[in-house]
Amino acid sequence: MHVTPILDISGLKTVFRIGGRPVAAVQDLNLTIKPGETLALVGESGSGKSVTSLSVMGLLPRGMGQVAEGSILFRGKTGQTQDLTQLDAEGMRQIRGNDIAMVFQEPMTSLNPVYTIGEQIAEPMRIHLGRSHKDAAAAAIKLLADVGIPDPERRADQYPHELSGGMRQRATIAMALACDPVLLIADEPTTALDVTIQAQILDLLQKLQADRGMGILFVTHNLGIVAEIADRVAVMYAGRIVETGMVAEVFAHPRHPYTIGLMRSIPKLGEATALKLQGTPLPTIPGSVPSLVQLPNGCSFAPRCLYSIDACRVDVPPLYETGNSQKSRCIRWKEV
Ligand SMILES: Nc1ncnc2c1ncn2[C@@H]1O[C@H](COP(=O)(O)OP(=O)(O)OP(=O)(O)O)[C@@H](O)[C@H]1O
């Protein structure tokens, strides 16, 4: 059955002014998310994951970054589709926190230290949904219970500093869900938490998604998390998607050397501890992400790639269809 996506990004190019000239932090980017689906954007630091999510939210740093090309079609609660790149600041404000919500790595980015948890969860319901004070306060307590916070009545009256890191992240998730968004953008939401709490938050997001049917754009540098939470994955390198597809297909036979490198750097169960005890560093991909100001000719990954040949350094490869759901931006995908 064909389901219309809630998010359909096409030909996105986002540029920053660096040293007076425009530099593309994201380019040639196409992706879709359907209701109830989780797409993970994965890649090393600087690959363009956050710039992609900020482009969708209309939160690029003003005067520095802007969408230069492409469209971001979004179908909100009313069923109407809008191109987010064409909305003005007020139009985006009506969508943010209402149709599209965001959870960041550091909960204190979203929480205000001087208001109680309950007040902060209730606020978007009053602003966007026009609910009364009393009604929104009761709904906030219910949301705190939904995200697994014990004794929600008491917690609603507390300030952020009175909660642990894991509880604060649960509270920001409650805040994000307050208006029942169609799309949740989660940017490294568990990176600042310890491993046990990380697993609990990932379970919680999956449960909430199953209950509410929202789409999730999940930004992470961790392929282990992708395997656990996502239906589809888009691997980014130097501002472009280099491989994409259903998680099961990409993980079973990755067709881009960069994805293979990322997969090798996921420690297997117990291996990380064993390597640490031996004093051996975890395997990483040699070299580093190139500067966007000076991208190499052809494939941006070629200078770090064990498979690269002269032909890789000529043109940027297109995304080849390499499987049922899979695409790879590697001219040697059949051999990798
Ligand atoms: N405010 C800015 N000014 C100039 N360039 C920026 C700015 N923000 C991002 N960039 C450029 O965009 C590139 C991609 O950044 P982005 O934050 O999207 O990477 P990321 O993959 O999300 O990395 P991380 O995991 O570290 O957040 C950066 O390498 C940088 O060159």
Reading the block at residue 273, the tokens are 């501890």
- Give pLDDT tens digits for 270-324: 555 555 556 555 567 888 888 888 899 999 999 999 999 999 999 999 999 999 9
Q: How far apart are CA 119 and CA 123, in angstroms?
A: 6
Tens-place pLDDT, residues 200-238 = 889 999 999 999 999 999 999 889 899 999 999 999 999
- Fold that domain 7-99+181-275 belongs to in CATH: Rossmann fold (3.40.50)
What is the 26 CA–ligand 1 centroid distance (Å)? 9
47 Cα–ligand 1 center, Å: 7
Is residue 18 in contact with ligand 1, taking CB distance under 6 Å?
Answer: yes
Q: Which residue has the tokens 């990004």?
A: 9
The 8 Å CB, 24+ separation contacts for 146-150 are 146/174, 146/177, 146/208, 147/171, 147/173, 147/174, 147/177, 147/204, 147/208, 148/200, 148/204, 149/174
Sheet holding 21-33: strands in order across? 21-33, 7-18, 65-75, 81-83
Half-sphere exposure of 83 (CA within 13 A, CB side): 9
- The pLDDT of residue 277: 53
Q: Evaluate if pTM is beyond 0.90.
A: yes
Which of 15, 18, 27, 47 should be mutated for ligand 1, with most atoms under 8 A from CB?
Answer: 47
Three-point CA angle 230, 236, 241, nearest 5°: 95
Residue 93: CB within 6 Å of ligand 1?
A: no
Q: Where are the domains of the chain?
A: 7-99+181-275, 107-180
pLDDT tens string 152-174: 999 999 999 999 999 999 999 99
- Measured CA to CA, the distance from residue 56 to residue 76 in angstroms comes to 13
Q: Which residues contact 212 (CB under 8 A, 6 or more apart)?
A: 177, 180
Which residue puts its alpha carbon closest to atom 8 of ligand 1? 51
pLDDT of residue 278: 60
Q: For ligand 1, say whether the CB of 64 is within 6 Å of any of its atoms.
A: yes
Counting from 1 in the atom list of ligand 1, the atom nearest the Cα of 47 is 21
